[in-house]
Amino acid sequence: MFPTPSPDDPERSNVSCVATTSPHRIAAFFDLDKTVIARSSTLIFTRHFYDGGLLTKRGMLRSAIVQLQLLLTSAGPDHVAKLRKHVTDMCTGWHAGTVRAIVSETLDEAVRPVIFAEAADLIAGHQAAGHDVVLISASGMEMVEPIGELLGVDAVRATVMEVVDGHYSGEIEFYCYGEEKAHIVRELAAEYGYDLESCYAYSDSSTDLPMLSAVGHPAVVNPDKSLRAAAQGQGWEIFDFPNPAPHLEWLRPAKAAWCAAGVGAVAAALIAYGAAHRHLPRPAAA
C-alpha cells in the first residue's frame, strides 16, 4: 500500500512509495496524462468535484473547455502553464481532505474507463520482467497517488499543492514538470541503484524530453508534433494508442452518440455550458 501523507502534515513529500524497497535495478518511468490515461488526471474528476460541492456550474464549464483544449492541442510549455494556472485557481480554498475523499470514492468510475489498454499491458510487461514502475506526473499528488494504487505501480512522484489550515492556498510547494522529472529519475537511480542505461521512460509531451533523455530506452506515446520529430530523429520507439472507449453514462442520451464518434469532450463542454446557462432568459424573438 501507498503511505498517504496527511493534508495537514507540514512534512508532506512529493514522493509516494511502497513500504518495502524493491531490489530491482531497472525501472520504467511513466508520465501519466495522455500516456497512461487518455485525459487529464485532474480534470477527469471535475464532475465529481461538482457533485461534492467543490465546483460551481461555471467552474465545471471552464474545466470542460480546458479538457477539450488539452485533447486537441499539443502540451507545449504555454499550454501546460495555462493548465497549471487553471487547476491552482480552481482548487484554491478547497479542503484537501475532501478532495482526497472524493478521489478515493470515485476513482474506479472516473479513471478505469480512460486507461489505455496498451499502457496497462506495458506496465504489466515491465512488472513481469521484474522492473519497478514509477509514475511521474505534473498533476497533483491527491489525484496521482490513488491512480498509482489502481495501476499497482511501485512509486509515484507528483506535484504537491501547498496546504494551509487544511485548505489549498493556491501556491505550489513542488512542481513536478520538465527538468524536475529528469532530476527525479536521477535521484531515484542514486537511491535505489537503477542502471539508467537499462531503464525505460514513456511520455506524450515534448516537455518531458529531459526525462526521456535520462534513460537508455525512451519511448513516446501519442506524441505531440515536436516530440514525434525528436523521437524519429533519435530512433526512439513510437507508440500510437487508440483512445479507450469513452465513459458515457454521465452524458445525456442525446449527446452519447457524439462521444462515441470521438468528440466526447465537445459534448461534455456543451452539456456543462447548458447546465451553466439553463436559467438564463432566452433572447426575445425578432
Could you give the CA distance from residue 110 to residue 46 in angstroms, rounded to a whole number?
Answer: 10
Residues across the chain: 286
Q: Which of 33, 132, 204, 224 is catalytic?
A: 33
Active site residue 31: yes
Could you give the CA distance from residue 69 to residue 89 in angstroms, rounded to a whole number?
Answer: 17
Q: Which of 31, 204, 208, 224 is catalytic?
A: 31
**In the structure grid, which three cell numbers stand for residue 3, read together?**
503511505
Element (H, E) at 114: none
**In the structure grid, which three cell numbers stand for residue 176, read together?**
513536478
Active site residue 89: no
Of 235, 230, 238, 239, nearest to 209 (Cα)? 230
- Residue 247, Cα to own-chain centre: how many angstroms? 17
Please give the torsion angle defined by the CA atoms of residues 139, 39, 135 and 164, in that order, rounded to the nearest 10 degrees. 20
Q: Give the residue numbers marked as catalytic.
A: 31, 33
